[in-house]
Amino acid sequence: MENLAAIAKQCRQKVLEMAYAAKDSHIGCALSSVDVLVLLFFRVMNVNPEDPRFSERDRFILSKGHAAAALYAVMSARGFFPREALATFAQNGSELASHVERKLPGVETNGGSGGHGLSIGAGMALAAQADGANYRIFILMGDGELQEGSVWEAAMFASSRNLSNLTLIVDRNGFQTWNKVDDIVAVESLVEKFRAFGWDADEVNGHDFERLGSVIERTGDRPHAIIARTVKGKGVSFMEGDGVWHSKSMSDEHYHRAMKEVQS
């Protein structure tokens, strides 16, 4: 687990470097996602950076597509593309757009408006089931997306088709944009909700590699929802739990303070 922690630390540094160079935002939601992504790409999923579209690969969908910087940092560390490419993040014409796009090898679907990832993933899982394929579908969704009706339609569909190859991970950092999720539309209790929709469901610390890993790797005969309790802005003290870092870009002072913290 120490190696995963070291990779996550490096990826947080890359997220800050990318966001600072591009004067981009979405920093807090990217930092909360890093540990989940590192665990998926380095331990859980069957992927091959040298052949990113081989037919039996596990599929990953970043439903919270605005956390693209975290996915790029992790994919680069895993070897999908050179780390030098991170310097083009959010630049005109770059494959590393500020919301993920499928033109980048290893990215399965575009990310834009929230609330669509589970529907797409359920379709992929159904196709795998129909083909008798063994690959799995993993989706990382923001908790604010759970206010979208399409999510719950897809949840009903997935359980009715017994899509046991489908795993949804909710990045439960408690914020949507700069507001608290439950101040907009309360979504708890999520474990009970998903179980009522016919899913297996668990809640876990989304920054604990060992516990999160043991839950993600468990399989059953139903779709699986994992509520990952995370901290928005994880790793940078003045960003942690502050929704402003969804939409705010870093000044020189912010950047140097943040880098000093994640490097320590």
24-43 pLDDT tens trace? 889 999 999 999 999 999 99
Give the pLDDT means over successive 10-residue stretches in the chain (264 positions). Answer: 90 97 91 98 97 96 94 97 94 89 90 87 98 97 93 98 98 88 91 97 97 92 97 96 89 96 92
Read off the CATH number of the domain in which 57 is found: 3.40.50.970
- What pLDDT score does 93 carry? 87
- What pLDDT score does 177 carry? 80
- What pLDDT score does 29 carry? 92
Q: In what order do the strands lie in the sheet with 224-229?
A: 59-62, 137-142, 166-172, 224-229, 200-205
* Structural domain span for residue 117: 2-263
- What pLDDT score does 1 carry? 60
pTM attached to this predicted model? 0.95
Name the H helices within the chain: 2-22, 27-39, 68-78, 117-131, 149-160, 181-184, 190-196, 209-216, 252-263
- What pLDDT score does 132 carry? 97
- What pLDDT score does 2 carry? 65
- What pLDDT score does 122 carry? 98
CA atoms of 176 and 243, how far apart (whole Å): 8
CA atoms of 152 and 119, how far apart (whole Å): 9
Work out how many domains the chain is built from and give that number.
1
